[in-house]
């Protein structure tokens, strides 16, 4: 069934606003995204813009109905939570965590070390290497310790690489050293809350590239040194385009590389901007990107977190930072669902099924499906060797010819019961997508 038809079908049968009751008195509210995701073992969430937005009834109601995980868009960053050397301000972050707890939502912490949104006192210095190390340790101990047992995941280090896979020249790498400061930060975060899962978070990870190669080398080295890292966060600030199975498979390949290291992955900051004005065609393209990223997460065995960077265009960061672009989130400024919402709801209702090597009679048939790029194809080659289903025989075993019974000589009686015939070998049909 075509994607556009699926979206049209869903929009035609669903209420205009998710969760609203239809005209029938006995009709139940339509399930929100969180209700659809929970049976799949997936947490689906959104960033909280700031404290005043929670006072907007439409914002609060939609947030609580649709999502079961939250993250602070800004108010756990150094600039806001640690404005002076000996001053911490948890007021807004506390309100957001409290809202999440009151509505059955878990929470992510973002972030503990980044090159941007730092207070002036931290940036100007000057500080010695030992002073920088102590600042980092003290900050992490204070912030993570304040939320110990209440924040389930932390983006410990954010964007240590630039867009070209080189380490950033930020206060941490310059003063402490790269990757030494990452080891220090993750170790300090684990000491402050051993129950929280710790992530490295970055952008431009949706397809195989040199940046992801460098990142895999980085985290592999950290694990070899015994650094407590649990996962990689895929930021996913994307632009609208028509996405097919290739988009899904590119993201899935990288997720499987992390899985091979024993790491989780999380979609942490998804939004999909469109060039304004947002036409219906552009919004359908946007929907295909949302669907594709969600498909990859559902197919990957190590992806259990799917976060959007907000949920309503009313409070999106995109228009203020990317001139001429916007409409990046699944709800419009009036909290009405867009095609992106319908695409995600449809994907959660009928999640993708990865092809399995058990469905193929031999390696040659599996390789043909893999090379054609069927949805979920990387699952046939999780080690990335290029050979699909390596444990299967190269070609299917030949089917044995059925046994024949020689006719009895003339004058002899045939046996009363024919000799049993061998059951024919059944060849499983090849996966067709």
Q: Residues with catalytic annotation? A: 159, 269
Q: How far apart (Å, rounded) are the C-alpha atoms in residues 207 and 245?
A: 13
Nearest to 391 by CA among 368, 415, 363, 367: 363
| b/e 343-368 (16+ beta carbons within 10 angstroms → b) | bbbbbbeebbebbebebbbbbbbbbe
The count of other CB atoms within 10 Å of the CB of residue 216 is: 17
Token reading at 189: 């975060």
Q: Residue 33: how many CB atoms within 10 A of its CB?
A: 26
What's the N-to-C CA distance of the chain in angstroms? Answer: 12
237/268 Cα distance (integer angstroms):
9
Q: Where are the alpha helices (DSSP H) in 51-128?
A: 57-66, 78-81, 91-102, 120-124
In whole angstroms, give the CA distance from residue 68 to residue 59: 15
**Beta-bridge partner residues of 266:** 233, 305
Residue carrying the six token digits 């969430």: 45
């Amino acid at each position: 069934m075509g994607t556009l038809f699926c979206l049209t079908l869903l929009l035609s049968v669903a209420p205009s606003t998710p969760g609203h009751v239809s005209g029938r008195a006995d009709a139940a509210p339509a399930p929100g995204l969180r209700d659809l995701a929970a049976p799949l073992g997936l947490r689906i969430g959104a960033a909280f813009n700031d404290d005043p937005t929670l006072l907007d009834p439409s914002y609060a109601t939609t947030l609580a109905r649709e999502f079961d995980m939250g993250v602070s868009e800004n108010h756990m960053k150094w600039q806001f939570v640690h404005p002076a050397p000996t001053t911490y301000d948890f007021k807004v972050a506390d309100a957001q965590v409290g809202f999440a707890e009151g509505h059955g939502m878990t929470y992510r912490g973002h972030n503990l070390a980044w090159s941007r949104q730092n207070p002036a006192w931290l940036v100007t210095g000057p500080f010695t290497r030992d002073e920088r190390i102590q600042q980092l340790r003290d900050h992490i101990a204070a912030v993570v310790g304040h939320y110990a047992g209440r924040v389930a995941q932390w983006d410990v280090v954010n964007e240590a690489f630039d867009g070209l896979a080189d380490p950033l020249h930020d206060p941490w790498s310059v003063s402490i050293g790269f990757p030494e400061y990452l080891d220090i930060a993750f170790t300090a975060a684990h000491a402050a809350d051993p129950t929280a899962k710790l992530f490295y978070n970055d952008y431009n990870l949706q397809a195989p590239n040199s940046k992801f190669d460098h990142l895999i080398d980085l985290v592999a080295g950290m694990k070899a040194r015994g650094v407590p890292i649990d996962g990689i966060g895929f930021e996913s600030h994307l632009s609208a385009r028509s996405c097919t199975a290739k988009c899904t498979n590119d993201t899935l390949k990288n997720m499987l590389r992390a899985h091979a290291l024993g790491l989780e992955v999380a979609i942490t900051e998804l939004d999909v901007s469109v060039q304004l004005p947002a036409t219906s065609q552009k919004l359908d393209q946007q929907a295909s990107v949302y669907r594709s990223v969600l498909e990859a997460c559902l197919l990957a065995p190590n992806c259990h977190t799917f976060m959007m960077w907000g949920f309503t265009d009313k409070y999106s960061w995109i228009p203020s930072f990317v001139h001429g672009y916007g409409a990046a989130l699944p709800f419009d400024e009036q909290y009405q669902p867009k095609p992106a919402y319908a695409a995600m709801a449809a994907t959660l209702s009928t999640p993708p099924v990865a092809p399995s090597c058990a469905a193929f009679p031999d390696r040659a048939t599996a390789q043909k499906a893999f090379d054609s790029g069927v949805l979920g194809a990387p699952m046939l080659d999780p080690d990335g060797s290029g050979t699909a289903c390596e444990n299967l025989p190269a070609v299917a075993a030949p089917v044995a010819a059925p046994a024949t019974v020689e006719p009895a000589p003339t004058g002899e009686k045939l046996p009363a019961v024919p000799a049993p015939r061998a059951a024919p070998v059944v060849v499983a049909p090849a996966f067709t997508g």
